[in-house]
């Protein structure tokens, strides 16, 4: 199936000499900047709520190093993901313009670009944050590049859920950069991100099911169909509501967060339920995908605004203290 589709895709999309020329923009895009930005929001969230528990000033220099180090490590993961997926990325409209799929940059250069980003990023985390933050970065990289990209994405319907472990690590990096240990807050943020990712990705999977099928990826919508995928999405969005409230139960955030997280989560559950009556699954899935990103951004925004700062030291920014 995959090889037939591949022949068809290649016939229509053989890149011209012009499209083969690499640009600086290609190198930038290989790091998947949109995904880096959202993941950095979660690093920031982890850093901020851990800072709330220390009773000390926010260490803005440490914040800067943590954001830089984690962004470099995540960029490394994205570049290496593009490197490893360059054959199948040719077969999907969504991905075939990537420099790796067009053959615009030599695979060796891309591989070394990814490795360099990773080594520098892990070095920044190790030397300027702490060894635990670096270790988590390394674990995230390993899961994303090796377990998800090189292994499960091509072979298993469980790739999305297990790959979600890597996307749940960035807020833990932010948290441990401050605390130096894996406190309850780190695990709760892990849980929130772990539950958020499958509905985020399956929305896209339903919308682009035929592309994924043609490329040969055993994604849930491809293997079990839209209905089974909607049921699975519902399980995750429902669990996300109580999951997100654990931050309040453990004293990291206040009541404003509780109200916002409940409303945001319930909207997502209702949207998921509406999927069972949708006339047009692709249109519904597009809305679900957009909402997943808005949900994540708003949840972390409110989390940061309503962080409980345990100390009444007036030097803490925004005076959201005590
Ligand atoms: C198992 C984990 C994940 C999978 C499989 C996944 C999959 C994807 C895919 C395939 C796209 C491309 C959409 C397109 O080109 O139309 C995408 C976009 C996006 N993802 Fe995820 N994602 C995951 C985790 C995350 C995480 C952890 C974040 C952020 C915290 C995130 C944020 C985004 C954002 C902001 C976009 C849109 C921007 C862009 O396409 O550059 N994703 N995701
Ligand atoms: C600490 C660390 C390194 C964490 C990794 C964080 C990270 C980059 C999470 C995002 C996961 C993601 C975008 C998966 C999509 O890959 P895909 O291959 O399904 O997407 P594609 O088809 O667009 O390439």
Can you give the pLDDT at residue 1? 30
Any ligand 2 atom below 6 A from CB of 170? yes
pLDDT digits (tens, 9 = 90+) for 24-47: 999 999 999 999 999 999 999 999
Residues 6+ positions from 25 with CB-CB distance below 8 Å: none
- CATH hierarchy code of domain 4-321: 1.10.600
pLDDT tens column, 252-300: 999 999 999 999 999 999 999 999 999 999 999 999 999 999 999 999 9
Residue 240 CA, ligand 1 centroid: distance in Å: 18
Give the model's pLDDT for residue 97: 94
pLDDT at 55: 84
Is ligand 2 within 6 A of the CB of residue 40?
Answer: no
H/E run at residue 154: helix 153-155
**Is residue 124 scored above 80 in pLDDT?**
yes
- Ligand minimally distant from the alpha carbon of residue 299: 1
Residues 171-199: pLDDT tens digits?
999 999 999 999 999 999 999 999 999 99
Residue linked to tokens 């109200």: 259
- In this prediction the pTM is 0.91
Domain boundaries, the chain: 4-321
ipTM of predicted complex: 0.92
Does ligand 1 have an atom closer than 6 angstroms to the CB of 32?
A: yes
Residue-wise pLDDT for 220-249, tens only, equals: 999 999 999 999 999 999 999 999 999 999
In 74-112, which positions are buried (b, 16+ CB within 10 angstroms) versus exposed (e)? bbbbbbbbbbbbbebbbbbeebbebbbbbebbeeeebee
């Amino acid at each position: 199936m995959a090889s037939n589709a591949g022949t068809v895709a290649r016939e229509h999309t053989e890149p011209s000499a012009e499209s083969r020329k690499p640009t600086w923009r290609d190198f930038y895009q290989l790091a998947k900047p949109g995904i880096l930005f959202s993941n950095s929001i979660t690093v920031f969230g982890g850093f901020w709520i851990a800072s709330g528990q220390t009773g000390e000033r926010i260490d803005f220099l440490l914040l800067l190093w943590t954001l830089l180090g984690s962004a470099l490590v995540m960029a490394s993961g994205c570049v290496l993901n593009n490197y490893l997926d360059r054959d199948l990325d040719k077969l999907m409209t969504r991905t075939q313009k990537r420099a790796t799929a067009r053959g615009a940059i030599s695979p060796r250069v891309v591989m070394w670009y990814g490795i360099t980003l990773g080594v520098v990023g892990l070095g920044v985390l190790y030397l300027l944050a702490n060894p635990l933050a670096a270790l988590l970065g390394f674990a995230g990289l390993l899961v994303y590049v090796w377990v998800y990209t090189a292994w499960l994405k091509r072979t298993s319907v469980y790739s999305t859920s297990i790959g979600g472990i890597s996307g749940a690590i960035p807020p833990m990096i932010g948290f441990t950069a401050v605390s130096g240990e894996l406190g309850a807050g780190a695990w709760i943020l892990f849980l929130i991100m772990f539950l958020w990712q499958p509905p985020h990705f399956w929305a896209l999977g339903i919308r682009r099911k035929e592309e994924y099928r043609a490329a040969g990826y055993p994604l849930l919508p491809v293997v079990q169909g839209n209905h089974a995928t909607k049921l699975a999405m519902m399980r995750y969005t429902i669990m996300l509501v109580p999951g997100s409230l654990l931050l309040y139960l453990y004293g990291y955030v206040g009541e404003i967060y509780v109200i916002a997280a409940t409303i945001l989560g319930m909207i997502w559950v209702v949207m998921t339920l509406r999927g069972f009556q949708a006339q047009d699954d692709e249109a519904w899935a597009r809305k679900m995908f957009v909402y997943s990103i808005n949900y994540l951004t708003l949840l972390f925004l409110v989390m940061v605004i309503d962080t409980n700062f345990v100390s009444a030291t007036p030097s803490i920014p925004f005076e959201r203290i005590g």
